[in-house]
Structure 1
Amino acid sequence: MQFQSKNREPATKSKKPETTMHTLLVPIDHTPAAEHTLAYANKLAVRWPAEVVLLYCVPAATPGELQRQEQRLRSLAERLRYQQLTRQDGRRIRYRYRVLAGCLHDHVQAEAARCAADLVVMGLEHIDCGRQEAPGNHAAAITALVACPVLVVPPGRRSLPSRLAFLADFGSLHLNTLPRLSALEGAFPAPLDLVQFYAPAERSQRRRLKQDLNRAASHLSWNGVTAHLLEDDAPLEGISDFCARQGVQLLVVAPGTPAQLLRYFDACYATTRAYHTQIPVLVLRGAEALPATACCDRCAERLAQEEKQAKLPDYHAVRWA
């Protein structure tokens, strides 16, 4: 017999907002440090949330060897699933496995596009194609190949960051790079410091540099942004000191050239254990500025006029004696 209570309104199920699932592409090299990289990626996958795609490249392997390496990859993921995580969080992580014959730098671009990776997470001392180079060299090469940001994790156990710093030349930084950083706020919901250094010889340009810094801050949809304009003729030493003072646990950089990125991982900083080499570094590639396009003849005429005006000297801005 069924009973119905009187004066009771029919229950309505509240719809929970759907959570967007992101994708982390995690290259693995099976060194001891790779376990720290995967443990960090696991924490990030739970917080964001994100699916983890584990990628292992074997320089030369038979089909049977590839199958054996995939099983090894699965065993590693299952062993680390609950490390530093509760059992409930560990169960939430979704893995996919990719084992390919060849080198990482030959496959990473296609694999990042294939899984629509939002972020590549790799170790600072990653070994690619059996070659061990200076810390950060392989990561710098991978950064030049993929369009998404690359998170470089040094060896050691670490928690997700509670404070971030973003070092860049905001005068030359493309503003279309900033949405890439804003898209990662869900992964790293922490206070963000924007840091711009200038040399003592550039003191006369402080006003312009401050305007560039504030403009970048206004284009970031990030809670808790603080801008810092600091004088130091050695930015890398300066950012290490700044991060140490502020307790920064993740450094974001937007290098203008590959050579500039390699300087972050220079052997002298690794040897002296500079602070910025002891914390994860998130590398943002600057998107190329897209040329203006016209939708009609009238817009084409307006764009041509604006381009012509831009090439002419601005006599009104000159202070005549």
Structure 2
Amino acid sequence: MKTLLVPLDHTAAAEHTLAYANKLAVRWPAEVVLLHCIPNTPAVTADVLATEEQRLCSLVERLRYQQLTRQDGRRIRYSYRVLPGTLADQLQPEAVRCAADLVVMGLEPIDCCHQPTPATHAAALAELLACPVLVVPAGRRSLPRRVVFSADFGVLDKSFIHRLSALAGAFPAPMELVQFYAPLDRPQRRPLKQALHSAAAQLVWAAPITEHLVEDEARLEGADEFCARQHADLLIIAPTSAGQLAQYFATCHTKTRAYHTQIPVLVLPAIGYHAGQESCCERCAQHPESLAVSSVRSVYHTIPWV
């Protein structure tokens, strides 16, 4: 049995996250572990924890039969974890405890021009986890019928491919593998194409896989345009830096209704982050002090251990 770990608060957007997780749990199938964290205050007593767990149970029972058929709703197994503390403190230990195969959480855009990435944000939490993180935007979403996997396949670690192959049962849809390169990298087209082909050969995926080598200076904007042309409803990314990950969830993209903010984004776990900083748009580039700083994990992976 697979396990989905779903951190929830009591906002309206949390219902959309749980509804999407329910659909995945039926398809895969998987057990759903619901995690709700209460910041440490003197008021967090056993009675408070019990009350919050009951609220989660009520939400589950309501959505179980509103969004799914009665037969499918009965098939899902739920467990509840209501804990004192912050999500940043509890998510990683809980993912290890329940051996989560996938974390499903909501999308919380950040103003990357004026604030660092909050510790509770998906971009920060994804760095702490060894399992993939599926970030689901608000709104009712159907399960993917077309998937785009955008990455730098020339430096992609093989373990990424194995971890993605493990999710094939959850997302049995045709996949488009796309490698973007800048005009200055035209002499590297052949090795990039070979790396792309090698990744496709290693990926265990039931549905057809198509390879694309696309020239575009702006990787994120290029991915948006490519996803729109393909009518993709799931984007998979394997970021190579903390800044590259954070830029996907910036408010500047949300305000312009960028395509990737309208569909779920699956973040493969980080291996070998580099310390480079990146701006996500021209506006952010004018505020260099706001670029995402390297995390402790990022620095750890840059140390040349012998």
Taking structure 1 as the reference length, what is the TM-score of the superposition?
0.79
Q: 1:278 — aligned with what?
A: 262
Which structure has the larger Rg over C-alpha atoms?
1
- Unaligned runs of 5+ residues in structure 2 are 274-306
Q: 2:222 — aligned with what?
A: 238
Report the Cα distance in structure 1 between the residues aligned to 2:153 and 2:247, rounded to whole angstroms: 19
Aligned partner of 1:212 among 178, 188, 195: 195
The answer to whether 1:98 aligns with 2:78 is: no
Count of aligned positions: 265
Instruction: Show the 5 A alignment for 1:1-321.
Output: 21-59=1-39, 60=41, 61-125=44-108, 138-223=121-206, 224-287=208-271
Per-residue CA deviations over 1:203-232 (Å, capped at 9, x if unaligned) read: 111111101100111110113111100000
Residue 176 of structure 1, CA deviation: 1.5
Report the Cα distance in structure 2 between the residues aligned to 1:118 and 1:287, rounded to whole angstroms: 17
Report the Cα distance in structure 2 between the residues aligned to 1:282 and 1:183, rounded to whole angstroms: 13
Amino acid at match of 2:264: P
C-alpha contact 2:177 2:211 (8 A) present in aligned 1: yes
Q: 2:304 — aligned with what?
A: none
Per-residue CA deviations over 1:63-110 (Å, capped at 9, x if unaligned) read: 211110010011111111012211100110110000000100101111
C-alpha contact 2:162 2:203 (8 A) present in aligned 1: yes
**More off after superposition, 149-158 vs 82-91:** 82-91
C-alpha contact 2:65 2:73 (8 A) present in aligned 1: yes
Amino acid at match of 2:36: Y
Report the Cα distance in structure 1 between the residues aligned to 2:214 and 2:191, rounded to whole angstroms: 13
Structure 1 residue matching 2:108: 3-state secondary structure: coil
Report the Cα distance in structure 1 between the residues aligned to 2:81 and 2:74, rounded to whole angstroms: 20
Taking structure 2 as the reference length, what is the TM-score of the superposition?
0.83
Residue 182 of structure 1, CA deviation: 0.4
Structure 1 residue matching 2:128: 3-state secondary structure: coil
Structure 1 residue matching 2:22: 3-state secondary structure: helix
Are residues 138 and 108 of structure 1, via their aligned partners in 2, closer, same or farther at CA, if it must alter by over 3 Å?
Answer: same
C-alpha contact 2:146 2:173 (8 A) present in aligned 1: yes
Residue 149 of structure 1, CA deviation: 0.3
Report the Cα distance in structure 2 between the residues aligned to 1:190 and 1:136, rounded to whole angstroms: 33
Report the Cα distance in structure 1 between the residues aligned to 2:241 and 2:267, rounded to whole angstroms: 12
C-alpha contact 2:149 2:237 (8 A) present in aligned 1: yes
Residue 267 of structure 1, CA deviation: 1.9
Report the Cα distance in structure 2 between the residues aligned to 1:199 and 1:82, rounded to whole angstroms: 49
Structure 2 residue matching 1:261: 3-state secondary structure: helix
